A and B are shown apart, each in its own frame.
Chain A
């Protein structure tokens, strides 16, 4: 069977709450990262509080509807980001959230490699029928990366985000199981 946790540039890990909190605190302060990744208002949370939150998560154990992962680079084992899958169990649809907190790793193919691992996990381990995501129209780098992974643009909600006095659209993308399988060219087991 294939190695689910290893891509070409990155591998999946579970980081300790302390390490996650330290990284989150820095990434949170990077406004550009925050505005590309999220739509809620930027805020500053203490490392202590973030650590508590991650410790609580560690207590929860396996839940079928959420699957968070941390990501490290393969060559230097550097902790650079995360992705998570939230599953609508009845309809077998997963939503993905993904981000590279370390800006030095933007635009170098790491995100695309992470998304490939994420889709492989979604389709061969969670066995969902489709994966969805939303992104800001002002994030063309992400759009290109997702398209490379097989996502198709399905629609946009117009002017639903207001930042710096400007309204922008949210784009919605999706990839279906058949489409992803076809991309694998029968190279699965």
Chain B
């Protein structure tokens, strides 16, 4: 038999949850007003978004999940009070090759540095490898996002590609790094 009892969506202090269309847009809208967060998460020009825009984005996301079948999207919520603290996704899934790209972010600055990212990535990887049965997952990170790079390395990701000078911010160019982790490599860690 297999480990059916360990919950896929429950971490120690955080859990994965669905989108709450009523409460979440306003909270996520606040995150987008933090230019540091936006520049860590987004390669597109950082921009604040209204709750109305976030709502539309959520609708598009759920539509894509439903129709394209190449995306799994989760909200990251604090176990204590179910408040929204971040987002996690496996996207651009190609089933014949068994590939997916990971996205993960803890939205509010005061929630970072508490280990929630580590817990979330652990859940996300288990979902990608043990439930979606992907062969490998990738993550794209700007070279200045030291937190993300450290987190990925902690889980055994290997830097595979350096897209030189693919990003320009604050008057200089930055590299975009692509990290990859194979199912075997993940499995051998546990």
The stretch of A119-127, A136-144, A146-154 in contact with B is: A119-127
- B53, B170, B172: the one contacting A61 at CB < 8 Å is B53
Given A124-B169, A189-B170, does the pair A4, B50 have CB atoms closer than 8 Å? no
Q: Are A17 and B50 in contact (CB under 8 A)?
A: yes
Interface core residue of B32, B34, B39, B47 (most chain A CB under 10 Å): B47
Q: Are B50 and A15 in contact (CB under 8 A)?
A: yes
A41 interfacial by beta-carbon distance below 8 Å: no
Could you tell me the distance in whole angstroms from the C-beta of A113 to the nearest C-beta in chain B? 16
Interface size on A, residues (CB 8 A): 32
Q: Are B32 and A14 in contact (CB under 8 A)?
A: yes
Interface size on B, residues (CB 8 A): 27
A55-79 near B? 1/0 per residue, CB < 8 Å: 1001101101001010000000000
Q: Are A4 and B171 in contact (CB under 8 A)?
A: no
- B32, B38, B53, B169: the one contacting A58 at CB < 8 Å is B53
Residues on A with beta carbons closer than 8 Å to the beta carbon of B56: 58-59, 61
B51 interfacial by beta-carbon distance below 8 Å: yes
B159 interfacial by beta-carbon distance below 8 Å: no
B44 interfacial by beta-carbon distance below 8 Å: yes
Residues on B with beta carbons closer than 8 Å to the beta carbon of A17: 50, 52
Could you tell me the distance in whole angstroms from the C-beta of B104 to the nearest C-beta in chain A? 20
Could you tell me the distance in whole angstroms from the C-beta of A86 to the nearest C-beta in chain B? 13
Name B31-71 residues within 8 Å CB distance of A. Answer: 32-36, 38-39, 44-53, 56-57, 60
B168 interfacial by beta-carbon distance below 8 Å: yes
Residue of A nearest to B52 (CB): A58
Using a Cβ cutoff of 8 Å, how many contacts connect chains A and B? 76
Bound form: Cα–Cα A54–B1 in Å = 55
A1 interfacial by beta-carbon distance below 8 Å: yes
Given A125-B46, A126-B45, does the pair A3, B53 have CB atoms closer than 8 Å? no
- B34, B52, B144, B170: the one contacting A188 at CB < 8 Å is B170
Bound form: Cα–Cα A139–B67 in Å = 53
- B29, B39, B49: the one contacting A1 at CB < 8 Å is B39
Q: Are A5 and B33 in contact (CB under 8 A)?
A: yes
Residues on A with beta carbons closer than 8 Å to the beta carbon of B36: 1, 3
Residue of A nearest to B44 (CB): A62
Residues on B with beta carbons closer than 8 Å to the beta carbon of A124: 169-171
Bound form: Cα–Cα A121–B169 in Å = 10
Q: Are A14 and B35 in contact (CB under 8 A)?
A: no
Bound form: Cα–Cα A69–B33 in Å = 11
Bound form: Cα–Cα A35–B182 in Å = 62
A181 interfacial by beta-carbon distance below 8 Å: yes
Q: A13-B33, A14-B47, A184-B171 are in contact. List 10 more A-B contacts (CB 8 A).
A: A1-B35, A3-B36, A4-B39, A11-B33, A13-B48, A14-B48, A67-B47, A124-B170, A188-B172, A189-B171
Residues of A within 8 A of B (CB): 1-6, 11-17, 54-55, 58-59, 61-62, 64, 67, 69, 121, 123-127, 181, 184, 188-189
